[in-house]
Structure 1
Amino acid sequence: MRVLIGSSPEEVARIAADNVLAGLAEHGNGAQQVLGLATGSSPLGLYRELAVAAAQGRADFSSTLGFALDEYIGIPDTHEQSYRQTLVNEVCNVIGLPVSGLNVPKGTGSTVAEVQASADAYDAAIKAAGGIQVQILGIGANGHLGFNEPGSALTSRTRIKRLASKTRQDNARFFDGIEHVPTHCVTQGLGTILEAGRLVLVATGAGKADAIAAAVEGALSASCPGSVLQLHRDAVVVLDEAAASKLAQREYYDDAAAGITDENLVVG
């Protein structure tokens, strides 16, 4: 795991975007890019930087497939607060990813079994696309990734999950009161997320500091779903100073961020 710390929101966004683009180049399979998409405030600057890269000719998302992390159950995908509509507005309309290439878990159906069958099909669709090359992530204050709340199995697949009370309270600002916030969702599982070629997690603000410390330096545990990043061979965590404020190994992360050069090698 690499931990990279920016001194400003703009620097955090640039670092994160550079690592997304490098990950697509490293883990790509030629013509088809497959990008995992997160909602929330944390990755918005990253998406703006990807738009700049596209405008400058350093990136092209016109044929990219996008796979969302999650979707609410119980509201139509045309609802303004559905994650499909959020991603259309915050990603497709920003970086030029076609709406036709946007895939989002289906949160509607006649029965629970039908919704779960759609969730199983979502995992299959990711595999059919060749797998997600770079998965963009945020982290909840309680350590959740996607909507994998504390207690989620570390090997879980895309499935129906109950939203934690704290998560619903945090999201109530987007709805007309907490009574309108859905109680359930469909989310990529932690096992699904771990199959991506690269993970790029962005976190900003002091409210994320405890979750980041637990995910990066704490025990691998279902109590902090974000700790599964420790299992991934190409995970990049991009933070601002506030989100990094409770990391015990900060000095090491800063040293490691400098990388390695030929001068560091000993030639025998």
Structure 2
Amino acid sequence: MRETTVNDAPPHDQAASAGSNARPVPFRGGGFAPQPRKGVGLVVFVALIALAEWGTRTGFITNLTLPRPSDVLITLGELWDSGLLMKHLQPSLTRLAVGAALGVAVGIWVGILIGLFSYVRAGLVPLVAALFPIPKIALLPLFVIWFGIDEGSKYALIAFGTFTPTVVATYGAVDNVDRGLIRMGQSFGLSWASIVRKIVLPGAMPGILSGLRVSLAIAIILLVAAEMLGAEYGIGAYILEAGSLYDLERLFAGVVILSLLGVIVSAVITRIEKRLLRWRG
């Protein structure tokens, strides 16, 4: 009598045998389940700084194009010791906070209205599409005429610059909410307001927060542009003065401050995401 082998076994037995010996294939990209890799970003950053320091000290990189990172660090220390850092940073943070808060708040509100109401969408989407590609920096002279050369024009420029990308991101996020969840809420007899509050807004929140990252980055860029016109103090005014004197150490010190500001803003949004999006698991 012939012995039964794996090849002679029924198909379902072969599948079970193969399944028991199979190993799971990891998803290499990690996009669906990102794992924290602590210290990797810091290592990359330190490596780039060390490379720049080595290049400027050995002459491979001329000091006319890139200052030594150690000299920039010394300049930052002098700024702190002299008190000029806070004199420039405080008005910049105030302008950024007020302008971005106005633009983001109005942008989210308008974006939600566009996502929920057809008539609002038909009326405002063409207007937003016409305003979005306009370079906001080009409108700074117009804002100066309207609001004066003081703080009003700076707030208006930052608010307008953050408004349009926030609107686009918000109504796009509302549009991407799973319609199956909305129909489920309707089948359970939820009111329109309850569906918006419990399904639409939580479902749109990831897209809104992603758009907020872009909007705040634009706000920092416009902050520098606004402070280069008619501002005595501010990071933008500091960079403009350093550039006019071709003082690369001071210029790069201002750039470092802006970079740190961007990192802090990104970290704050990450904390907000972790708090508001805990339901995603």
Return the structure number with greater relative CO, CA threshold 8 A, min gap 6: 1
Bigger share in strand: 1
TM value normalised by structure 1? 0.24
Bigger share in helix: 2
Larger Rg: 2
TM value normalised by structure 2? 0.23
